[in-house]
Amino acid sequence: MLDNEGRLDVVFGHLHEGVLVEDETRHVKFANKAFTDIFIPGLDPALLVGGDCDATAVDTAPMFKDGQKWLDATRAVVASKRPMSNDVWETVDGRWLQRDYRPRVNDDVVFEHIWLYRDVTLEHASRTVAGLDASNGERTGFRNWSDAIERLGKRAKSIGALEKGAMACVKVRQLDVLNAEFGYEVSDSILIALLEELRGEFGQVNVERLKGTVFGVLTTDANAHELMSRIHQLLDPTRAIGDQFVYLNTVIGVATTENIQDFTDGQEMFECARQAVREAGHRHADVVLEAEMRIQSRLQNELVTRLDEALGAGEFQLYYQPIVRLVDGEVLGHEALLRWHHPERGLLTAGDFIIAAEEVGVISRIDRWVIHEACREVSQVLQDRDCFVAINLSPMSSDGGDELLEVLRNSMAAFNVGPTQISIEITETAIARDQLEFVRLITQIRAMGVNVSIDDFGVGASTLATLKDIPFDRLKLDRSFTAAIDEPRVQEIIRVAQVIGEILGGQVIAEGVETQAQSDLLQECGVHIGQGWHLGMPAPL
Ligand code: C2E
Ligand code: MG
Ligand code: MG
């Protein structure tokens, strides 16, 4: 491909990176516009072709602050025949240019030299302010952030903060605005001042400057709210810069032993504080990490790192809960509900981890597995019986809707499952989120002869009025209605939902039937199908 000049142009012409390709004898084969923009703005890159690169490098060297060094480094890396990455040089006009080198080697001969150049002035500047610049690090209290985290973690252990204590991550936001307005030295000096103030209050060794504009603060006092108000009181948000004032926006995330009693080490305590400050950033408010948030974040991590392993190891399993005719208990179908036999946490129900799976974007992989598994199991049990299995599709799945349809079609064909043996459940909330897309998906599913249920109806964003635009076969009334069926007003609502459901689509199913009394009242309201613990618990095949 690299020999085809025309295609090269297409591939590299639009890159932001400057690309220079030299031939075996180091003459220019190709350069793109971004390259000339960096070195000779306005020059047509085609004019460079054929030029002698070493000679041009000699001419170019004065544009760098350390021109001779840059030239020596260029020649040295070419002689080495080895790739090089992230080599950064400052120009005399104050820019920072980063370059990568890739030799293409055949039989120990370099037949093509490829250079990529990027202007990293902005990133470099923010790196300096974040303290990654080694020369600057000592001054800003920042040497190496992983060392800083380790120090803080060890300290947490040695002062007993893991048993009783708290760690806060304090994040100064919008520092880039200050950078832009006053320059990096000013924002840097603000960060140094903040570090000193925090150290003055909490002790030199209990405060570290961490990554970017985040500070870690450690105390043996587990009261998170006290810690947060101490920090806010200390850090005066109004700062004078010359004769101007700026306002510092700080958010705090805290991990405390009051909420989490089993920190295994300081590193974990820090991870929790970091998660809290991340969340604080989203919420624009301080956050104290709750045990529940930690469990969710651990689950999210696991779903990302070992979903395939868990699926392969048989940790996931479908349980089936009967859907029943209330009057005589006849089983009309089953809903497949996902369970995770977690190696440490035991049996998790879908409610424990589906949201986490949606948040980290693995839900469509799970849905695909569920479709396949449900069809496989259905084919073993149902054979010709007139009974269906309902499969839940996640709200997020409409993006991959076509792909899911394909999986559904293939699985049904592979296991010889007929369309009336399968039903798909989609929650009302999901549909409301992207109604057009879901209506398209639902229409396609129904065209296959597969029924569609609207799940958890009545608690989502949509109303009875929008129902008329959504094609469906079953309406599953959210279990909150069943739970409150003692109230006459709720009975009225159920009656209306039943009538409308019937007019628009078909069957209405009440979820969460836990007692015979509820079953009786439902039937009085005209609802004849139910699902719930009273009628049958979810169980494996
Ligand atoms: P859902 O589809 O509304 O499923 C009913 C949920 O209510 C199930 O929780 C079930 O165990 C629970 N339930 C059943 N009967 C009763 C009862 O009488 N009382 C009470 N209080 N609860 C009852 P589960 O299994 O934790 O699932 C929660 C949600 O997770 C499901 O709500 C569904 O939206 C989703 N889900 C379940 N399995 C899957 C799956 O395979 N894929 C996807 N994408 N979502 C799933
Ligand atoms: Mg469901
Ligand atoms: Mg439901």
Q: What is the pLDDT of residues 193-238, one digit of tens each?
A: 899 999 999 998 999 988 778 999 999 999 999 999 999 999 888 8
Ligand 1: which atom is nearest the Cα of residue 370? 41
> Average pLDDT for residues 368-379, to the nearest whole number?
95
Lowest mean pLDDT among 156-170, 304-318, 496-510: 496-510
For ligand 1, say whether the CB of 111 is within 6 Å of any of its atoms. no
From residue 312, alpha-carbon distances to 175, 309, 322, 389, 456 in Å are 46, 5, 27, 23, 31
Lowest mean pLDDT among 116-125, 153-162, 298-307, 425-434: 116-125
For ligand 1, say whether the CB of 395 is within 6 Å of any of its atoms. no
Name the pairing type of β-strands 507-510 and 529-530: parallel
First to last CA, the chain: 55
Residue whose Cα lies nearest atom 34 of ligand 1: it is 392
> Average pLDDT for residues 158-166, to the nearest whole number?
95
pLDDT band, very low/low/confident/very high, at 2 (cuts 50, 70, 90):
very low
For ligand 1, say whether the CB of 482 is within 6 Å of any of its atoms. no
For ligand 1, say whether the CB of 514 is within 6 Å of any of its atoms. yes
pLDDT at 143 over 50: no
pLDDT at 398 over 70: no
pLDDT of residue 127: 46
- Per the confidence metrics, is the pTM higher than 0.75? no
C-alpha 360/C-alpha 366 separation (Å) is 12
pLDDT at 128 over 70: no
C-alpha 218/C-alpha 21 separation (Å) is 52
Tally DSSP H helices, then E strands, for the chain.
21, 21
pLDDT at 465 over 70: no
C-alpha 12/C-alpha 18 separation (Å) is 8
pLDDT of residue 318: 97
CA 77 from chain centre, in angstroms, equals 39
DSSP labels, 482-529: HHTTTSHHHHHHHHHHHHHHHHHTSEEEE----SHHHHHHHHHTT--E
Mapped onto helix, strand or coil, the DSSP state of residue 146 is helix
pLDDT of residue 142: 45
From residue 464, alpha-carbon distances to 45, 494, 498 in Å are 63, 12, 11
pLDDT of residue 124: 59
Give distance in angstroms: CA of 344 to centre of ligand 2: 26
pLDDT at 368 over 70: yes
Tell me which residue has tokens 């459940």. 425
Name the residue of 307, 392, 396 whose CB sits within 8 Å of the most ligand 1 atoms, as the mutation to test its pocket: 392
- Highest-scoring range by mean pLDDT, 85-94, 230-239, 320-329, 431-440: 320-329
The highest-level CATH class for domain 307-540 is alpha beta
Sequence ranges of the domains in the chain: 4-119, 135-303, 307-540
Percent of the chain with pLDDT over 70: 89
For ligand 1, say whether the CB of 525 is within 6 Å of any of its atoms. no
C-alpha 117/C-alpha 97 separation (Å) is 7
Residue whose Cα lies nearest atom 41 of ligand 1: it is 338
CA 325 from chain centre, in angstroms, equals 42
Q: What is the dihedral of CA 407, 439, 355, 518, to 10 degrees?
A: -110
pLDDT at 306 over 70: yes
For ligand 1, say whether the CB of 354 is within 6 Å of any of its atoms. yes
* Angle, CA 505 vertex, CA 500 and CA 508 arms, to 5°: 65
C-alpha 478/C-alpha 426 separation (Å) is 12
Mean residue pLDDT of the chain comes to 86
pLDDT of residue 375: 96
Residue whose Cα lies nearest atom 20 of ligand 1: it is 512
User: For residue 375, what are its two tokens?
Assistant: 């069809």
Sheet holding 109-119, edge to edge: 28-31, 18-23, 109-119, 96-106, 84-90
As its CATH architecture, domain 4-119 has 2-Layer Sandwich (3.30)
C-alpha 26/C-alpha 305 separation (Å) is 45
Residue 223 phi, psi dihedral angles, 5° rounding? -75, 105
- CATH topology identical between 4-119 and 135-303: no
pLDDT at 345 over 80: yes
pLDDT at 137 over 50: no
Give distance in angstroms: CA of 336 to centre of ligand 2: 8
Helix (H) or strand (E) holding 340: strand 331-342
For ligand 1, say whether the CB of 42 is within 6 Å of any of its atoms. no
Give distance in angstroms: CA of 180 to centre of ligand 3: 51
pLDDT at 87 over 80: no
The listed CATH number (3.40.190.170, 3.40.718.10, 2.40.40.20, 3.30.70.270) that belongs to domain 135-303: 3.30.70.270
Query: How many CB atoms lie under 10 A from the CB of residue 377?
Result: 20
Residue 94 phi, psi dihedral angles, 5° rounding? 85, 10
Long-range contacts (CB closer than 8 Å, 24 or more residues apart) made by 174-177: 174/249, 175/129, 175/213, 176/126
Residue whose Cα lies nearest atom 8 of ligand 1: it is 337
C-alpha 194/C-alpha 187 separation (Å) is 11
3-state helix vs strand vs coil in the chain, percent to 5:
50, 25, 30
pLDDT band, very low/low/confident/very high, at 95 (cuts 50, 70, 90):
confident
More confident residue, 396 or 99: 99
Asked whether the beta carbons of 227 and 219 are under 8 A apart, the reply is yes
- The DSSP symbol for 52 reads B
Alpha carbons within 13 A on the beta-carbon side of 89: 23
pLDDT of residue 133: 39
For ligand 1, say whether the CB of 424 is within 6 Å of any of its atoms. no
> Average pLDDT for residues 65-76, to the nearest whole number?
90
User: For residue 117, what are its two tokens?
Assistant: 């150049």
C-alpha 341/C-alpha 348 separation (Å) is 6
Nearest to 251 by CA among 290, 213, 286, 224: 286
C-alpha 61/C-alpha 64 separation (Å) is 6
Give residues whose Cβ lies within 5 Å of ion ligand 3. 455-456, 511
Residues 6+ apart with CB under 8 A from 294: 260, 272, 275
Asked whether the beta carbons of 45 and 29 are under 8 A apart, the reply is no
pLDDT at 17 over 80: no
pLDDT at 49 over 70: yes
Residues in the chain: 541
Asked whether the beta carbons of 522 and 492 are under 8 A apart, the reply is no
Among the bound ligands, the one closest to the CA of 351 = 1
pLDDT of residue 262: 87
User: For residue 493, what are its two tokens?
Assistant: 């609502």
pLDDT at 135 over 50: no
Helix (H) or strand (E) holding 341: strand 331-342
